[in-house]
Amino acid sequence: MGQIKVTPTAIPGLFVLEPTLHGDSRGYFMETYNQRELLEEGLDLLFVQDNQSMSVRGVLRGLHFQKKYPQGKLVRAVSGAVYDVAVDLRPGSACFGRWQGEILSAENRKQFYIPPGFAHGFLVLSDRAEICYKATDFYHPEDEGGLLWNDPDLAIAWPDPGAALLMSEKDKKNALFRDYCREKGI
């Protein structure tokens, strides 16, 4: 029996991964990544970097992407809860411009695999949340791009975090989706 359940989403390439929890009175153990099992599911992934961030309730980070060096990401919450969102920016994709959101929490232990070619962001729903993610390419600061979190054309249904939104000045000025498409000639 596999230790990680892999479920495709409505957008091809996006997957929700659910590790099998082995627990008893001492606590629990789970595999959060197993290359062999993911290969059997058709996910041929090579991760080169691990990242972790901590944020407080109401923090919204994103929607971020890398222009020339796109990163695939395997995201999970190790504490707290977030609403994690991916927007399909793959040229020629039948789902171009569509988004998918998943609640990731320490409690549900779900992971969200976001392949290269997507914008990514999250909103913190708990008092505090720590997010870990594996990336398939290195981060290049000069290669950053961003879409506005509340773009009317994307119409992402963000949940109410129960607090005022906290964002970086940079994220408040991210591009509109229509301007991104115009720049790309799409």
Q: Hey, how many other C-beta atoms are within 10 angstroms of the C-beta on 112?
A: 26
| Annotation marks residue 83 as catalytic | no
Catalytic entry in 83, 113, 133, 180: 133
| Annotation marks residue 64 as catalytic | yes
Compute the distance between CA of residue 75 and CA of residue 90 in angstroms, rounded to an integer: 19
Catalytic entry in 64, 83, 113, 120: 64
**3-class secondary structure for 120-169?**
EEEEECCCEEEEEEEECCCCCHHHEEEECCCCCCCCCCCCCCCCCCECCH
Catalytic residues: 64, 133
